[in-house]
Amino acid sequence: RDQAQFHPRKYLLALLDVFTRNGGRVYEKTRATGLNEGHPCVVETTGGEVRARHVVLATHYPFVDRALLFPRVHPKRSYVVAGPADRLPDGMFISSTEPTRSVRTIPDGDRTLLLVSGEGHPTGQEYDTEERYVNLDRWGAEHFGLATEYRWSTQDGSSVDQLPYVGTIRRGSDDVYTATAFNKWGFTNGTTAAEIIADAIAGRSNEWADLFDVHRVTVTQSAEKFVTENTKVAIHWVRDRALHPQRSSADDLAPGEAGVHREGTRMVAAYRDEAGELHQVSAICTHLACVVAWNPAEKTWDCPCHGSRFDHHGRVIQGPAVQDLERVDP
């Protein structure tokens, strides 16, 4: 009851309109590369420096992690398929059991499409990512007569207690704020985060601020999950070095295949594209040196430790890493 369904792009365009009409300015294709806290703060970008009294790091995962969120934000990928269907649900639904299935409709010109999502898994820890789409296609066809036309995957982080981290990156400082770990509830959690941060900057109290605080102490409720998640990271760090490489060179890679091999002391991630060209990069993640794993559905190198992702040229496309993987000549 009382659901509200938003068209994400139209929603964002309306927000943008309000923002710019009130004097805000948006600079696209401008990457923030550094942050110096102070009065004012200085943000270094690829287009020059920006000075501001307050800065909000809203880069999904904060690109400078001074609140040390990386062991507390656990990245997950999830999958979406969409297309026309014989039957459409009269609302938005999400299953309460595993495997998760979420359904809703989307307007597409004069058609209404069915959107099915689910099949989530921790980033870099699933090797047959194509199968995830197949599972959603099959389920949608069986229950709704779905004929998939579109598919995509997403990534989001969650915290050990399932609540986002919203607030200042340092206790006692009101210069720099962040908001992350929306646990796949970006519309609602993003809006709440915006209200909390706007209130903090304007000096107003907000009843949700303590609950979402970046520095909250929820150890008693979440210690077990924290230990479990970070033990998995440690296991990956050690085991992936010991088990990799599963191949001795890239010579036997067929077009479309990828794998990790060792060249001397170096671990190399190699992908042979459909045209037969070999692309090689270092397999060591530039964040904290875990070994990346191939994601065949997205054709990316994904890190199992904290979810950084790189394209097959080694370019970083998702943090916490901010540096590209080093290229290795074939």
Q: Which positions touch ligand FES (CB under 6 A)? A: 285, 287-290, 303, 305-308, 320-321
Rounded distance between C-alpha atoms, residue 30 and residue 161, angstroms: 33
Closest distance between ligand FES and the C-beta of residue 289, in Å? 6
Contact 272, 250 (CB under 8 A): yes
Task: Pick between residue 250 and residue 284 the one whose CB is nearest to ligand FES.
Answer: 284
DSSP-derived letter for residue 292 is P
Closest distance between ligand FES and the C-beta of residue 318, in Å? 9
Closest distance between ligand FES and the C-beta of residue 284, in Å? 9
Contact 116, 102 (CB under 8 A): yes
Contact 199, 205 (CB under 8 A): yes
Task: Pick between residue 146 and residue 292 the one whose CB is nearest to ligand FES.
Answer: 292
Distances (CA, A) of 288 to 3, 116, 132, 158: 42, 35, 28, 20
Strand pairing class (293-295; 300-302):
antiparallel
Task: Pick between residue 258 and residue 285 the one whose CB is nearest to ligand FES.
Answer: 285
Task: Pick between residue 189 and residue 308 the one whose CB is nearest to ligand FES.
Answer: 308
Task: Pick between residue 272 and residue 306 the one whose CB is nearest to ligand FES.
Answer: 306
Contact 240, 222 (CB under 8 A): no
Task: Pick between residue 227 and residue 289 the one whose CB is nearest to ligand FES.
Answer: 289
Task: Pick between residue 159 and residue 308 the one whose CB is nearest to ligand FES.
Answer: 308
Closest distance between ligand FES and the C-beta of residue 261, in Å? 19
Rounded distance between C-alpha atoms, residue 316 and residue 282, angstroms: 12
DSSP-derived letter for residue 202 is H
Closest distance between ligand FES and the C-beta of residue 38, in Å? 28
Task: Pick between residue 242 and residue 254 the one whose CB is nearest to ligand FES.
Answer: 242
> Tokens at residue 67, please?
């609140």
Contacts of residue 23, defined as CB under 8 A and 6 or more positions apart, other chains included, come to: none
Closest distance between ligand FES and the C-beta of residue 58, in Å? 20
**DSSP string of 67-92, one letter each residue:** T--TTTEEEEEEEEEEE--SS--SS-
Token match 């097959």: residue? 312
Rounded distance between C-alpha atoms, residue 62 and residue 58, angstroms: 7
Helices (H), 52-161: 129-144
Closest distance between ligand FES and the C-beta of residue 94, in Å? 28
Contact 253, 217 (CB under 8 A): no
Closest distance between ligand FES and the C-beta of residue 158, in Å? 15
